[in-house]
């Protein structure tokens, strides 16, 4: 059933490289690109994947193994999610930018 939910999500218009990497990892398909989210828009696509397919959260430990950057993002997922939602709302319905979240994302990548 997870594979079906992932396929349905992939058929949506709101996917990106990092969220696709997460989705593939969950169903044991080696993603060709293991990119972490580069900006808040990328992260919100990952967040929407987790909200649409909650089982993805059960695979966070596997996703974290894709790279040191992914490990940092997964270890800080709840913090990133809260920060982004506080800054922008879901789908940027409160505000169109998230400078604090973006800085945290850059800091996480820089450390790894």
**Per-residue tokens: 87:** 């800054």
Distance, in Å, from the CA atom of 56 to the CA atom of 42, rounded to the nearest integer, reads 16
Task: Using the predicted structure, report yes or no on whether residue 97 has a pLDDT greater than 90.
Answer: no
pLDDT tens column, 43-59: 999 999 999 999 999 99
**What's this model's pTM, rounded to 2 decimal places?**
0.91
Distance, in Å, from the CA atom of 99 to the CA atom of 3, rounded to the nearest integer, reads 34
Q: How confident is the model at residue 95 (pLDDT cuts 50, 70, 90)?
A: confident
């Amino acid at each position: 059933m997870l594979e079906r939910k992932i396929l349905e999500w992939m058929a949506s218009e709101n996917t990106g490289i990092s969220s696709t990497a997460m989705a593939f990892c969950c169903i044991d398909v080696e993603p060709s690109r293991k990119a972490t989210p580069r900006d808040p828009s990328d992260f919100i696509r990952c967040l929407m994947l987790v909200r649409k397919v909650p089982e993805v959260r059960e695979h966070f430990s596997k996703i974290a193994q894709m790279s040191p950057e992914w490990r940092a993002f997964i270890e800080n997922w709840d913090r990133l999610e809260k920060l982004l939602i506080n800054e922008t709302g879901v789908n940027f319905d409160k505000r169109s930018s998230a400078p604090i979240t973006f800085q945290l994302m850059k800091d996480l990548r820089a450390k790894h």
